[in-house]
């Protein structure tokens, strides 16, 4: 991937009120360095809107619209169409929304935007729960994780359902570009945002980020947990370009305990739970490696 040209000026500024060690702000800084000034941000309700845009201050150095929780995608679609009607073919419209807004509450609206083919880059920052309202479980919360609405007791131990496979669901809309990244893999994140920025039409980047109070982790370890998420194959770095999937990193697998340990939301896990999670991860990784092989061989075949 080509190295993107980065904006020297910070377009997501310090002075916001995010927690120390918040993974979301790190992602925003790097995303804005790639997007540059000719950008309109449409931000769904959630922590990011609260910590970055409490009136009368703003951390954003570009035009910014906060909209209600569920409708970031239609607002962005409207802005994008208005720009087109005005003959503006250069300003990029970018949605920034949390997992609650994307996996769950704004899901239908996002799907409609993808299906209609608007020229919008949708970035989901996935911290795996509704953090702003006090850590409620979302469709993105992993199996067994403790949240305030997936408690640990004698009958139930954490979330009983599995994480929704949103990246694959969005890819099934047959949009030109879908990718995963994390706040800690700066070069990967920047290159993917650059690629998505240059594509006309709907694109999607799903960024795993940490939440210190929500995950119950040490604020100095936010980036380490994200690196471990990739190295344990919990969150593979991938791109699905024109329908063809590619794994961007194939790290030597670390045991999943490396990632789970020290996170209070997983403190109650038994040895059996960890074994079960490891088994699921191994099966899923084998599937991805197989899928990449099939997709890439097919791509070469079609390009002949
Ligand atoms: C329709 C609607 N339902 C619920 C809320 C309350 N609410 C505001 S922020 C938020 C959590 C957002 O979660 P997420 O999108 O994951 O972002 P995060 O806070 O984790 O950054 C909730 C439930 C709301 N504002 N509107
Ligand atoms: Mg969230």
pLDDT tens track for 135-193: 999 999 999 999 999 999 999 999 999 999 999 999 999 999 999 999 999 999 999 99
pLDDT tens track for 62-79: 999 999 999 999 999 999
Q: How far apart are CA 114 and CA 99, in angstroms?
A: 17
- Establish whether residue 132 lines the binding site of ligand 1, counting it when its CB lies within 6 angstroms of any ligand atom: yes
Local structure of residue 150 (DSSP, 8 states): B
Q: How far apart are CA 55 and CA 289, in angstroms?
A: 47
Compute, in angstroms, the gap from residue 53 CA to the centroid of ligand 1: 15
Is the distance from CB of 113 to CB of 93 less than 8 angstroms? no
- Establish whether residue 263 lines the binding site of ligand 1, counting it when its CB lies within 6 angstroms of any ligand atom: no
Strand-strand pairing, 64-67 and 238-241: unpaired
pLDDT of residue 189: 98
Local structure of residue 112 (DSSP, 8 states): H
All structural domains of the chain: 23-303 (3.40.50.970)
pLDDT of residue 1: 66
Compute, in angstroms, the gap from residue 126 CA to the centroid of ligand 2: 6
Ligand 1: which atom is nearest the Cα of residue 102?
A: 15
pLDDT of residue 154: 94
In DSSP terms, 62 is beta-bridged to none
Ligand 1: which atom is nearest the Cα of residue 105?
A: 1
Ligand 1: which atom is nearest the Cα of residue 49?
A: 21
Using a cut of 0.95, tell me whether the model's pTM lies above it.
yes
Residue 125 Cα distances to 95, 163, 212, 245, angstroms: 10, 15, 14, 21
Q: Kindly tell me the sign of the dihedral angle through the C-alpha atoms of 136, 108, 127, 66.
A: negative
Which segments of the chain have a pLDDT < 70? 1
- Establish whether residue 138 lines the binding site of ligand 1, counting it when its CB lies within 6 angstroms of any ligand atom: yes
């Amino acid at each position: 991937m080509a190295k993107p040209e980065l904006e020297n000026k910070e377009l997501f500024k310090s002075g916001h009120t995010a927690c120390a060690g918040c993974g979301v702000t790190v992602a925003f800084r790097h995303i804005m360095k790639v997007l540059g000034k000719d950008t309109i941000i449409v931000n769904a309700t959630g922590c990011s809107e609260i910590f970055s845009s409490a009136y009368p201050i703003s951390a954003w150095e570009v035009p910014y619209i906060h909209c209600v929780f569920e409708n970031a995608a239609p607002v962005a679609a409207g802005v994008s169409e208005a720009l087109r009607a005005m003959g503006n073919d250069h300003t990029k419209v970018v949605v920034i929304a949390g997992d609650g807004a994307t996996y769950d509450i704004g899901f239908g609206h996002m799907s409609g935007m993808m299906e209609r083919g608007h020229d919008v880059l949708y970035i989901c920052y996935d911290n795996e729960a509704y953090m702003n309202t006090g850590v409620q479980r979302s469709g993105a919360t992993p199996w067994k994780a403790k949240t305030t609405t997936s408690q640990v007791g004698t009958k139930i131990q954490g979330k009983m359902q599995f994480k929704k496979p949103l990246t694959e669901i969005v890819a099934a809309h047959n949009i030109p570009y879908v990718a995963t990244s994390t706040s800690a893999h700066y070069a990967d994140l920047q290159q993917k945002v650059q690629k998505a920025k240059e594509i006309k039409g709907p694109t999607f980047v799903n960024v795993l980020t940490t939440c210190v109070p929500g995950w119950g982790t040490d604020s100095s370890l936010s980036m380490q947990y994200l690196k471990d998420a990739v190295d344990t194959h919990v969150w593979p770095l991938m791109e699905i370009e024109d329908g063809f999937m590619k794994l961007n990193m194939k790290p030597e697998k670390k045991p999943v305990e490396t990632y789970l340990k020290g996170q209070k939301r997983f403190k109650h896990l038994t040895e059996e739970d960890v074994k079960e999670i490891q088994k699921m991860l191994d099966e899923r990784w084998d599937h991805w490696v197989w899928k990449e092989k099939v997709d890439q061989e097919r791509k070469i075949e079609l390009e002949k």
